[in-house]
Amino acid sequence: MDELEILETLRTNKGFLKPEDWVVYGRAHRFTSVPAQHRPLCPDCGSDDFETVGQYVWFSNLIRLNDCRDCKLVFSDTLIDQDVVKRYFEGSYKDEKYFLRRRRRVFQQIAGLADDRTPWEGSVLDVGGATGHLLAILRSRRPDLRLLLNDLSEQACEHAKERVGLDTLCGGIEVLEQTGTRFDTVIMSDVLYYEPELRRIWALLPKMIKPGGTLVIRAPNKYGLIQLQQYLWSATHTDDDRRMQDRIDHFNPEHIYVFRAQYLLSRLMQLGFEASVLPSELLVPPGGDLKERLFYQASKVVAGLSCGKLITTPSFIICARNTG
Ligand SMILES: [Zn+2]
């Protein structure tokens, strides 16, 4: 690609305020033209009062991670075209056995929460449930429940239906809005950070969960670490380095938000939910997880002593009851 072509790509892609600075970088990283949408305002409260935490390159676009001073949502200011993202996720199909082994304690914890809180013969919806591992575990504990799996990926829904025998609902927020059904329990484990239409999710949840019903959300607990790392990085780098920053440590660029537990708790309270935060079980590394189990037990003690104010595990769980 010659200089003019790469400049044209940098001008049409988002975020490169001075495209000429990025020509060498863009060529080295084989930049291509990728459609994306810039979001100048907070996608939840609409505020323009935010602080930029840092910037990263993703799909040949330069994206800024912003922290809203009004609602405390941390969000990406650019959305990569949804078709491009969908193709990327369909292509990165995970090794099933490895995935299940790594996440087994997480699945057991969430299945346990759903088991405790869902009434006899109640209904459970798993949003972004992938190929159905979590619901399969829940079904073995509670064969009485009516289970429904939702996922954006047709490949995942097909697998959950054919191989696991689950009822599925394939698609994004629009199919959830059309169901018109209320569930006793809705699970959103490691999925909310992919949702471009966050406000539509918040509007939908009270309508989708029965009064007295439960919402379980799992999300990474990384914001403190991202802020600290970003602070240290900025303090030890020059203005030129900062202008050319292309990644944010501890931030997964596949995600479009970083959630503070406090943001989720107060957002759910506004919607009429009573919510609390818990430490989440850890992923199981290959070759035993004694250290992880001890750390998780210690984190539970810390969370209990601090009344949920201090969560030290890499992810947290929000458990909420619809009081509406
Ligand atoms: Zn906001």
pLDDT (0 to 100) of residue 286 = 87
CA–centroid distance, residue 320 to ligand 1 (Å): 21
Q: 90-123 pLDDT, tens per residue?
A: 766 567 777 788 999 999 999 999 999 999 999 9
CA–centroid distance, residue 200 to ligand 1 (Å): 15
Per cent of the chain over pLDDT 70 is 99
CA–centroid distance, residue 28 to ligand 1 (Å): 36
Over residues 246-262, the mean pLDDT reads 96
Which residue segments constitute the domains of the chain, with CATH numbers given?
Answer: 3-91+223-243 (no CATH), 96-220+264-322 (3.40.50.150)
CA–centroid distance, residue 76 to ligand 1 (Å): 12
pLDDT (0 to 100) of residue 34 = 97
Token output for 161: 């239906």
**Structure confidence at residue 232 as a pLDDT band (50, 70, 90):** very high
Contact 42, 13 (CB under 8 A): no
Distance CA 179, CA 204 (A): 11
Give, as residue ranges, everything with CB less than 5 Å from ion ligand 1: 42, 44-45, 47, 68, 70-71, 73
Q: 158-215 pLDDT, tens per residue?
A: 999 999 999 999 999 999 999 989 999 999 999 999 999 999 999 999 999 999 999 9
CA–centroid distance, residue 323 to ligand 1 (Å): 24
Distance CA 301, CA 311 (A): 10
Helix axes 96-117, 133-141, angle to 10 degrees: 40
60 burial level (CB within 10 Å; 0-12, 13-18, 19+): buried
CA–centroid distance, residue 70 to ligand 1 (Å): 5
CA–centroid distance, residue 259 to ligand 1 (Å): 12
Task: Give the H or E element holding residue 305.
Answer: helix 290-305
Check residue 296 and report its DSSP letter: H
Distance CA 254, CA 256 (A): 7
CA distances, 306 to each of 93, 276, 285, 299, 319 (Å):
39, 12, 28, 10, 17
pLDDT (0 to 100) of residue 91 = 66
Contact 214, 185 (CB under 8 A): yes
pLDDT (0 to 100) of residue 324 = 83
CA-nearest of 45, 74, 322 to 205 is: 322
- The β-bridge partners of 321 are 214, 274
Give me the amino acid identity at 163. Answer: R
CA–centroid distance, residue 90 to ligand 1 (Å): 31
pLDDT above 90 for 79: yes
CA-nearest of 172, 178, 183, 203 to 268 is: 203
Task: Give the H or E element holding residue 111.
Answer: helix 96-117
CA–centroid distance, residue 245 to ligand 1 (Å): 24
pTM above 0.85, yes or no: yes
CA distances, 79 to each of 38, 59, 154 (Å):
6, 10, 22
Q: How many residues can be counted in the chain?
A: 324
CA–centroid distance, residue 67 to ligand 1 (Å): 8
pLDDT (0 to 100) of residue 214 = 98
Distance CA 40, CA 21 (A): 23
